[in-house]
């Protein structure tokens, strides 16, 4: 594709000066670049798909560990009485 349409990470080092010349350094162009970068970051790290079997099983395992932690003293007293 055209050099101006390529993201920075896809530009080769020798093409960097030509790529910089095609960039829009006006205020509107800079704000558009910031907005595009934020959208990319948001979609990659924040707006990820949640759910599925892995998410549900992790939630269930966390609940079991948390429940065990809350009831540990009660469980340890019962197991001590049973073993005596």
What's the pLDDT tens digit per position in 18-64?
A: 989 988 889 998 999 899 888 988 888 777 666 557 667 877 898 99
Expressed as residue numbers, the domain containing 22 is 10-49
The C-alpha atoms of residue 1 and residue 3 are separated, in whole angstroms, by 6
Q: Specify whether 67 is located in the same domain as 55.
A: yes
Q: Is the dihedral of CA 22, 23, 29, 32 positive or negative?
A: positive
Q: Specify whether 15 is located in the same domain as 34.
A: yes
Q: Specify whether 24 is located in the same domain as 44.
A: yes
Predicted structure pTM score:
0.46
Q: Is the dihedral of CA 43, 46, 41, 33 positive or negative?
A: positive
Whether 15 is in a domain gets the answer yes
3-state helix, strand, coil in the chain (%, to 5): 80, 0, 20
């Amino acid at each position: 594709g055209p050099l101006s349409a390529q993201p920075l990470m896809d530009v080769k080092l020798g093409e960097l000066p030509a790529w910089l010349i095609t960039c829009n350094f006006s205020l509107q162009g800079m704000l558009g670049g910031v907005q595009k970068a934020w959208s990319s970051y948001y979609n990659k790290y924040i707006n990820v798909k949640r759910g599925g079997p892995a998410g549900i099983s992790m939630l269930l395992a966390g609940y079991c560990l948390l429940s065990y932690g809350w009831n540990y003293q009660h469980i340890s007293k019962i197991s001590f009485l049973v073993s005596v």
